[in-house]
A = this chain, B = another copy of it.
Amino acid sequence: MKKYLMPVLCACAMPILAMGRNGDSLTIRKIADEVLTHSTAYENLRVLTKQIGGRLAGSPQMVKAEQWGVEAFKAAGADTVYLQECMVPHWVRGEKEEARIISKRRDFIPPLNILALGNSVATSPEGVTAPVIEIGSFDELEAKKDQVKGKIVFYNYHFNPRFIKTFHAYGDAVKYRSNGPSRAAKYGAVAVIVRSMSHGANNFPHTGGTHYDTAYAKIPAVAIGLEDADMLSARLKDDPSANIFLKTNCQMLQDTIGHNVIAEIKGSQHPDQYITVGGHLDSWDICEGAQDDGAGCVQTIEVLRAYKAAGIKPSRTIRFVLFANEENGARGGSKYAEVAKAKNETHILALESDAGGFTPRGFASSMSAEKKAVIQKWRPLLEPYGVYDFSEDGGGTDIGPLHRLLDTPMAELIPDSQRYFDVHHAANDVFEGVNKRELELGAVGMAGFIYLVDKYF
């Protein structure tokens, strides 16, 4: 295209609200200019994803990523950088999983593309072979509970395309991954296959943590790619006596030592009051963890860098945290909250970026109605940067413990969500999927939001 009407050219590069709001818009514009012209976020992400890669808790990459985080915070100009030790689970995938349809027809069927769910137990070394029962919902599971014993339960619940915000589709579907294995084990299932939580039109299986209810047997659980899920479903309709052979090699080892990586800009007036900004440093082992949550980490570092480079001196102390072990334990966030409570720290607000490095749309929050009303007044200051939606409740796995233990108000960056579940927890969550400017605009939104929190909260 070429434009017929040229837009009013300087509207968005100028501090349009400056006169009316005490220079806040000027300051946010200054931060935005700093980020959009000198950001290191994209290059930081390249190093984290391409040179370190997947960094599950307990892995050698976890240690490298922590060292990287320390150096990146220092390079960004932090007043202080330190590690906060916490024990983290140490789950390993082992050799690549195997899955095959075993049919009496003996026609050729390609192997199924699967990934063990995080924290899952393995099959026995020889694998498991069993008949399959396809289950569309927990209601259907209850209705068919007498047919489950000795079988592999295949949860084929589809991501609902009618939800506009894809996180709502995820919220709707994720229970089959989290609770599906134990609910199937309750009725004697021997293993579980879960349809991946994605709209993506490809065959990447999407892993993610599962949770075993200790009341029931721990059975092996895997995710299956969408194309294979459809193929398996069609096959079972046509060939219901087909079995599946499944072999997983994962293992939960002893807890090991991980760290939250923490940097600070000391508050100029209230150094003992804290505002936390963060993402999580760990990722699943099978991907680069670029959107989940390398983006949140480099945005966090970029907020620090932009504050220092633009000469912003917050009155409260800003803590920038790369949390350990969000994906399969959330121990980093728990540790952070426990230490804050033990030290009787005063926390003003915690902000997390853990929904991808896409163009920002808004901030969700969990806090009192009075505080929410304060945040919603900031819309005119942030809408010039594409941030307009302050309607939803939200927070983040890593800052949830602080919210619960200390009643700290919490908020989360809400980026555009359409592409997130194309790559979430899958091998295609790579650096190339992140757009430099979208990533930077998220950091602009975060920096502007934190500036306003520091000043008005």
A interface residues with partner B (beta carbon < 8 Å): 1-13, 32-33, 36-37, 160-168, 170-172, 174, 199, 201, 208-209, 280, 292-293, 326-327, 354-355, 359, 361, 364, 366, 384-386, 388-389, 392-397, 399-400, 416, 418-419, 422, 424, 435-438, 441
Contact = CB atoms under 8 A, between A and B. Distances in A.
A400 B13 contact: no
Contacts of A37: 161-162
Given A165-B12, A168-B9, A395 B438 contact: no
A436 B201 contact: yes
Nearest to A399: B4
7 contacts: A2-B397, A5-B395, A7-B168, A8-B392, A9-B172, A10-B168, A388-B388
A1 B441 CA distance: 20
B1 A293 contact: yes
Contacts of A167: 3, 7
A4 to B, nearest CB: 4
* Ranked 8 nearest A-B pairs via Cβ: A4-B400, A1-B354, A6-B171, A36-B161, A12-B164, A418-B437, A4-B397, A13-B162
A439 B3 CA distance: 20
A5 B37 CA distance: 35
A212 to B, nearest CB: 16
A168 B361 contact: no
A7 B394 contact: yes
Contacts of A33: 162
A422 B42 CA distance: 15
Most buried by B among A2, A5, A160: A2
Nearest to A178: B2
Nearest to A328: B2
A245 to B, nearest CB: 30
Given A13-B163, A199-B437, A386 B361 contact: yes
A280 B422 contact: no
Contact of A7 (B4, B165, B385, B388): B165
Contacts of A201: 436
Nearest to A37: B161
Given A355-B1, A437-B199, A171 B397 contact: no
A386 B167 CA distance: 14
Contact of A397 (B3, B172, B174, B199): B3
Nearest to A366: B5
